[in-house]
Chain A
Amino acid sequence: TQLLEQSPQFLSIQEGENLTVYCNSSSVFSSLQWYRQEPGEGPVLLVTVVTGGEVKKLKRLTFQFGDARKDSSLHITAAQPGDTGLYLCAGRTSGTYKYIFGTGTRLKVLA
């Protein structure tokens, strides 16, 4: 069974701090996505990475796909209270549109 493990599970930090969330698997993925989900809503796509070693930036968020396409990280610089939410990674294997979701990281940024 494919499994995507995220760490940490919970993170509470002060506004202005930096943080990194990790997403690890023993499986190789054709693409990997990061989502943010808020209470009562569905996951909202932040980014898709497809190439090993790829780095994408979205304002203060930096996403990296591991060289072997088995892991990924999300780095937030100078976190703000608006970054609070549940962050999910999801990987897709070749030949399918099915995504395997990670266990999630719940982030709380305190003002």
Chain B
Amino acid sequence: EAGVTQFPSHSVIEKGQTVTLRCDPISGHDNLYWYRRVMGKEIKFLLHFVKESKQDESGMPNNRFLAERTGGTYSTLKVQPAELEDSGVYFCASSLRDRGAYEQYFGPGTRLTVT
């Protein structure tokens, strides 16, 4: 069974540009989460989808970040316009509908560098 995949693995963009990160969860997983780690800090929750619905977006830093999960399969996280402080590693995780509290499977992350 394929794990959580994320694309791209690395992205280097200039301040003010737009970047879109993609996450493909494990097939059949209704729950999808976005987290990020900025330099020197702990991993922080961004938001949680149940299928295509946003269940909790309390961790989204500001309105420059837009997450979507059309059709309840893969998800995208768009940053527009990117700022220097957005640099970090963005992780996606997924879990089965009833196992979200106990098992979250993480992808390898996308390393975003904003210059």
What residue in chain A is nearest B41 (Cβ atoms)? Answer: A103
Q: Are A42 and B93 in contact (CB under 8 A)?
A: yes
Q: Are B33 and A44 in contact (CB under 8 A)?
A: no
Q: Are B45 and A99 in contact (CB under 8 A)?
A: yes
Given contacts A42-B109, A43-B106, contact A101 B93 (CB under 8 A): no
What residue in chain B is nearest A90 (Cβ atoms)? Answer: B43
What residue in chain A is nearest B59 (Cβ atoms)? Answer: A98
A88 at the binding interface (Cβ < 8 Å): yes
Q: Are A101 and B108 in contact (CB under 8 A)?
A: no
B108 touches which one: A33, A40, A48, A100 (CB < 8 A)? A40
What residue in chain A is nearest B58 (Cβ atoms)? Answer: A98
Q: Are A45 and B103 in contact (CB under 8 A)?
A: yes
Once the chains are docked, how many angstroms separate the CA of A44 from the CA of B107? 9
Q: Please give the distance in Å from A12's CB to the nearest CB on chain B.
A: 20
Residues of chain A within 8 A (CB-CB) of B42 are 4, 88, 101-104
Q: Are A44 and B43 in contact (CB under 8 A)?
A: no
What residue in chain B is nearest A3 (Cβ atoms)? Answer: B42
The contact size tier of chain B is 20 to 34
Q: Are A48 and B103 in contact (CB under 8 A)?
A: yes
Once the chains are docked, how many angstroms separate the CA of A15 from the CA of B91? 32
B115 at the binding interface (Cβ < 8 Å): no
Residues of chain B within 8 A (CB-CB) of A43 are 43, 91, 106
Residues of chain B within 8 A (CB-CB) of A35 are 106
A30 at the binding interface (Cβ < 8 Å): yes
Q: Please give the distance in Å from B23's CB to the nearest CB on chain A.
A: 11
Q: Please give the distance in Å from A58's CB to the nearest CB on chain B.
A: 14
Q: Are B101 and A98 in contact (CB under 8 A)?
A: no
Q: Which residues of A contact B (CB under 8 A)?
A: 4, 30-31, 33, 35, 40-45, 48, 50, 88, 90, 92, 96-104
User: Can you spell out 18 A-B residue pairs with CB atoms less than 8 angstroms apart?
Assistant: A41-B109, A42-B4, A42-B91, A45-B104, A48-B103, A88-B42, A96-B48, A96-B56, A97-B33, A97-B55, A97-B56, A97-B95, A97-B101, A97-B104, A98-B56, A99-B45, A101-B35, A102-B42
Report, nearest first, the 8 A-B pairs whose CB atoms are least far apart.
A42-B106, A97-B100, A101-B43, A98-B45, A101-B42, A48-B102, A43-B106, A42-B108
